[in-house]
Amino acid sequence: MAKMIHSMVRVLDEARSIEFYQKAFGLSVAERLDFDTFTLIYLSNDESEFELELTVNKGRADAYNPGDGYGHLAVSVSDLDSEHQRFTDLGLNPGKIIDFNRDGALLARFFFATDPDGYKIEVLQRHGRYK
């Protein structure tokens, strides 16, 4: 059976992206692999083995366009309200908290954050299938 191990996003500014993901999600550099034309940075934390791979293409000056095919990454937290306040206090400009109901029952509580390159990250309250 396949095991998901990482997702990759292309970023323009390595330091800015690492700072964002560290502040927002407590991710730190697990490994950094430097090549002639690009650098791969794997970010992780103790909550999961799943990693986020940042790819920095050297010499690129123009911002990436996530396009209309990109959806979002998702993380779960134990206290959504506290995380939303923490994001606000850090100046990370989270979206509003949304209570998403289906058939009269709470399906999910979440907000979205946007990284420095425009990628959306959904922050979900641990509940139901969103553990």
Cα dihedral 19/52/126/105 (nearest 10)? 110
**Which superfamily, per CATH, for 1-58?**
2,3-Dihydroxybiphenyl 1,2-Dioxygenase, domain 1 (3.10.180.10)
pLDDT at site 2: 67
Q: What percent of the chain has pLDDT over 70?
A: 99
Measured distance CA(94)–CA(32) in Å, rounded:
28
Which of 19, 47, 51, 122 is catalytic? The answer is 122
The answer to whether the beta carbons of residues 130 and 124 sit under 8 Å apart is: yes
Measured distance CA(28)–CA(41) in Å, rounded:
10
Mean pLDDT of the chain: 94
**pLDDT tens-digit map of 56-80:** 999 999 999 888 778 899 999 999 9
Query: Which segments of the chain belong to CATH 3.10.180.10?
Result: 1-58, 71-131
Which contacts of 24-30 are long-range, i.e. CB under 8 A and separated by 24 or more positions?
Answer: 24/87, 24/90, 24/92, 24/113, 24/115, 24/121, 25/75, 25/121, 27/52
The CATH T-level fold of domain 71-131 is 2,3-Dihydroxybiphenyl 1,2-Dioxygenase; domain 1 (3.10.180)
pLDDT at site 37: 96
pLDDT at 95 over 80: yes
Judge whether 47 counts as a catalytic residue: no
Provide the H-helix boundaries in 26-107: 80-89
Looking up tokens 């927002």 gives 24
3: pLDDT confidence band, cut at 50, 70 and 90? Answer: confident
Measured distance CA(107)–CA(25) in Å, rounded:
23
Measured distance CA(98)–CA(10) in Å, rounded:
28
